[in-house]
Amino acid sequence: MEQHLKDFDARRIAIAAISVDSPEESRKLIQSRGFHYPILSDPKAEVIRRYGVLHPNGGEDGRDIARPAEFLVDSTGKIVWENLTDDLRVRARPEAVLEAGDKLLGK
């Protein structure tokens, strides 16, 4: 997603990630990878549960984590597009997310 931030910005689509990691762990990841979008910390997985993407005991030492997912959420908070997977190696390509955004925007 990082390499396509200008394309997302041009469509007024904001990118954010949500993780069970602590704010400090998220900051370290942003710095180490050079990300220019926020990684929000949800250590109790409250938001992750609301979106139905909790992977119980899926992390190191049986820790709960979020399963891979991408969402487009409109300004009212309604999910208008989603991509869900159980395999963390499989993610929506940025081009697919942009295409979905274009369809929703009528382009």
CATH of the domain at 82: 3.40.30.10
Report, as ranges of residue numbers, the positions in the chain whose pLDDT lies below 50: none
Domain region containing 30: 2-104
Contacts of 65 (CB under 8 A, 6+ apart): 19, 20, 54, 55, 58, 59
Residue 41, φ and ψ in degrees, nearest 5: -95, 125
The pLDDT score that the predictor gives to residue 26 is 93
Give the total number of structural domains in the chain: 1
pLDDT in tens, 94-104: 999 999 999 98
Task: Give 73-84 pLDDT, tens digit per residue.
Answer: 988 989 999 999
